[in-house]
């Protein structure tokens, strides 16, 4: 086998966003594109000589080809071993688990998460550090810097490696170890949760549905929910991963998982339903007649996690991303827990988890997780919910009523304006940024602004500073609007508007969120001039 040094030049725009580098698949398929980025990762981590890495992805189009390239480049860089999920498949949390469990030097996850897959859709590559978590900003900055200076990359010339058979093979001097993607992850779940209690609940007639959305969690959910916990065959829907996710967006929210939401709102509703995303790190929780907003789900899990064996000793603290509703803060206050507010993106939770300051973390974008891995974890959230329901004997609806009665309710919704012209979206944000100091005291749609600022984060563990993390406007009485541009989109710009209001009047806990938040929505539009600037009548996606 020959080792090649291929001359290349820097490719513009290889800057990792909220979660790795995401681009159109065809962009990734351009000559040198993937290779350049992988070489930049190697540079940023001081090379891969003698190192052990984990590799896997969500199975989307180009996953298999990219895996072969990454393996050849790891071998060329002198890596000792790469642990690969069979078929180059690993869910993001399973990859995080393997990186930690096998004490590796990190790993590469091939995914564009909830973005659609296919040759005309999206692809992505992300590096995770030895703690199992997404590379923090200093590493992603180094990766980006390396992409701007590349002159060559190293790759081994070889035939494709067979990734369909479990066991060890060699690529040059490097060992390629193909592992079952599900086994270790399922074993971890069994340690954290009372599988017997959940199995008894299900045996007693409790029904559930899990929508894998033709994405990576199908095999995981079937193995755990159906095979181990006894859910009826077929409880896991859309269970076979497909390179284009069946043509849909593998995004577990009421828009893209509408059939599941319709099911729980209809006459044949199961007791519990859930969905996960392309790479298995997100979750949506539903019960008969109810959709649980992700921010509420985080709060419920924080309030009840001690009911599961893995968390029986209580929580060290909780953390949420800034735009996530402050429902979990109320639980933290009531239970005497530290509560951290971080920028958007799981990479910001890593230090808090490593330092033992937080046990549970969550984001409004349907991400919840704990210190069991260093990624958010969709199936984990589903199992924690099931464990809690098994212990309390309550339905999902009763769980929410009980929670709101105790802690009050943070009504919450997010409005996304997608594929906006980039300059226009940046102009809107810049215009608003300069007006922030003038907002306090002004009244919009009957709401008086108490405070307005741009969020920045000082990491309490390593002291790193992250600026420009979203514009927030807080109103008297506790309502809040946050404006942010997405860092995962691959087309133009996506404006996210996060809307929240707190209510603890027992008579007002049962409103429709769009009613409860109507004037906050109106205030947000007046403040930012969204309709006039974008020319849009309303958001493309409401979650
Ligand atoms: C979005 C979400 C963020 C999440 C990120 C990655 O980022 O808002 O909360 O961590 O996606 O999730 P942005 O920058 O587009 O708002 V995943 O499941 O796509 O890896
Ligand atoms: Co994801």
Q: Is the CB of 134 under 6 A from ligand 1?
A: no
Above 80 in pLDDT, residue 489? no
Whether 139 shows a pLDDT value over 80: the answer reads yes
Is the distance from the beta carbon of residue 365 to the nearest atom of ligand 1 less than 6 Å? Answer: yes
pLDDT over 80 at 239, yes or no: yes
Per residue in 419-431, pLDDT (tens digit) is 999 999 999 999 9
488 lines ligand 1 (CB under 6 A): yes
Residue 375 pLDDT grade (very low, low, confident, very high; cuts 50, 70, 90): very high
Q: Please, what is the angle between helix 92-101 and helix 378-392, to 10°?
A: 90
Alpha carbon 53 to its chain centroid, in Å, reads 22
What's the CA-to-centroid distance between 367 and ligand 1, angstroms?
9
Q: Does domain 409-542 have CATH number 3.30.310.50?
A: yes
For 289: left if phi > 0, alpha if psi spans -120 to 50, otherwise beta; the answer is: left
Q: Give the percent of the chain with pLDDT over 70.
A: 100
Residue 113 is a catalytic residue? yes
Determine the average pLDDT of the residues in 221-250.
95
Q: Where in the chain is the domain with CATH 3.40.120.10?
A: 2-180, 185-407
Here the tokens at position 31 are 């000559």
Dump pLDDT digits (tens) for 95-111: 999 999 999 999 999 99
Q: How confident is the model at residue 530 (pLDDT cuts 50, 70, 90)?
A: confident
CA distance 125 to 60: 12
Q: By alpha-carbon position, which residue is closest to atom 20 of ligand 1?
A: 113
Query: Tens digits of per-residue pLDDT, 251-297?
Result: 998 889 999 999 999 999 999 999 999 999 999 999 999 999 999 99
This prediction's pTM = 0.93
- Cα-based angle 37, 39, 44 (whole degrees, multiple of 5): 95
Question: Which of the ligands is closest to the CA of residue 93?
Answer: 2
What would the pLDDT profile of 393-418 be if each residue is shown by its tens digit?
999 999 999 999 999 999 999 999 99
pLDDT surpasses 90 at 487: no
Question: What is the residue-averaged pLDDT of the chain?
Answer: 95
pLDDT band at 338 (very low <50, low <70, confident <90, very high): very high
Quick check: 201 pLDDT over 80? yes
- Cβ distance 328 to 299 under 8 Å? yes
Residue nearest to atom 16 of ligand 1 (CA): 486
Strands (E) in 269-334, as ranges, are 272-276, 283-287, 290-292, 317-321
CB distance 288 to ligand 1 below 6 Å: no
- Percent pLDDT > 90 in the chain is 92
> Has residue 488 got a pLDDT over 80?
no
Whether pLDDT at 537 is above 90: no
User: Is the CA virtual torsion 505, 511, 513, 518 positive or negative?
Assistant: negative
DSSP count for the chain of H helices, then E strands: 18, 27
CA–CA distance, 328 with 319 (Å, rounded to integer): 8
Q: pLDDT tens digits, residue range 144-159?
A: 999 999 999 999 999 9
> Would you say residue 491 has pLDDT above 80?
no
The yes-or-no verdict on residue 490 having pLDDT over 80 is: no
Name the CATH architecture for the domain at 2-180: 3-Layer(aba) Sandwich (3.40)
Catalytic annotation, pick one of 19, 91, 96, 113: 113
Integer CA distances (angstroms), 315 to 294, 353, 372, in order: 19, 11, 12
Q: Does residue 160 have a pLDDT over 90?
A: yes
**Bridge partners, residue 470, by sequence:** none
Which stretch of 19-28, 443-452, 489-498 has the lowest confidence by average pLDDT? 489-498
Question: What distance in angstroms lies between residue 278's CA and the mean position of ligand 2's atoms?
Answer: 6
Euclidean distance between CA atoms 425 and 494, whole angstroms: 8
* CATH architecture of residue range(s) 185-407: 3-Layer(aba) Sandwich (3.40)
Residue 269's pLDDT is 97
pLDDT bin (cut points 50, 70, 90) of residue 38 is very high
């Amino acid at each position: 086998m020959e080792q090649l040094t291929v001359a290349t030049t820097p490719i513009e725009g290889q800057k990792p966003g909220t979660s790795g580098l995401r681009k159109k698949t065809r962009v990734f398929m351009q000559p040198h594109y993937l290779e350049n980025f992988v070489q930049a990762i190697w540079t940023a981590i001081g090379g891969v000589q003698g190192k052990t890495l984990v590799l896997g992805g969500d199975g989307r189009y180009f996953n298999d080809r990219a895996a072969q390239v990454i393996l050849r480049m790891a071998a060329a860089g002198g890596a000792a071993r790469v642990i690969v999920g069979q078929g180059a498949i690993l869910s993001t949390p399973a990859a995080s688990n393997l990186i930690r469990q096998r004490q590796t030097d990190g790993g590469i996850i091939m995914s564009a998460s909830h973005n659609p897959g296919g040759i005309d859709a999206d692809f992505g590559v992300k590096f995770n550090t030895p703690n199992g978590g997404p590379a923090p900003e200093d590493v992603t900055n180094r990766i980006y810097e390396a992409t701007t200076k590349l002159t060559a990359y190293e790759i081994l010339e070889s035939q494709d490696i067979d990734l369909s058979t479990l066991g060890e093979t060699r690529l040059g001097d490097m060992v390629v170890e193909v592992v079952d993607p599900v086994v270790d992850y399922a074993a971890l779940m069994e340690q954290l949760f009372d599988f017997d209690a959940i199995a008894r609940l299900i045996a007693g007639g409790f029904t559930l549905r899990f929508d894998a959305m033709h994405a990576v969690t199908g095999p995981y959910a079937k193995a755990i929910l159906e095979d181990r916990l006894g859910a009826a065959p077929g409880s896991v829907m859309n269970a076979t991963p497909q390179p284009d996710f069946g043509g849909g967006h593998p995004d577990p929210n009421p828009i893209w998982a509408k059939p599941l939401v319709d099911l729980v709102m209809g006459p044949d509703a199961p007791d519990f339903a859930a969905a996960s995303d392309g790479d298995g790190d997100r979750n949506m929780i539903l019960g008969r007649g109810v959709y649980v907003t992700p921010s509420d789900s985080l709060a419920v899990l924080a309030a009840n996690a001690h009911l599961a064996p893995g968390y029986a000793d209580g929580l060290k603290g909780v953390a949420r991303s800034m735009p996530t509703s402050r429902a979990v803060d109320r639980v933290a206050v009531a239970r005497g827990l530290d509560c951290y507010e971080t920028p958007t993106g799981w990479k910001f939770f890593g230090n808090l988890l490593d330092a033992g300051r937080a046990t549970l973390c969550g984001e409004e974008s349907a991400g919840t997780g704990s210190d069991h891995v260093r990624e958010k974890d969709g199936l984990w959230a589903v199992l924690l919910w099931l464990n809690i329901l098994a212990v309390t004997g309550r339905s999902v609806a009763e769980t929410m009523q009980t929670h709101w009665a105790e802690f009050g309710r943070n009504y919450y919704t997010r409005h996304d304006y997608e594929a906006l012209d980039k300059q226009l979206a940046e102009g809107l944000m810049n215009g608003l940024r300069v007006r922030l100091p003038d907002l306090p005291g002004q009244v919009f749609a009957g709401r008086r602004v108490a405070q307005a600022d741009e969020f920045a984060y000082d990491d309490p563990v390593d002291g790193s500073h992250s600026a420009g993390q979203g514009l927030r406007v807080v109103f008297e009485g506790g309502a809040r609007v946050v404006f942010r541009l997405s860092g995962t989109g691959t087309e133009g710009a996506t404006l996210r508007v996060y809307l929240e209001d707190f209510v603890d009047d027992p008579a007002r806990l049962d409103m429709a969120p769009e009613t409860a938040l109507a004037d906050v929505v109106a205030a947000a539009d007046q403040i930012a001039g969204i309709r006039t600037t974008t020319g849009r009548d309303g958001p493309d996606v409401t979650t």
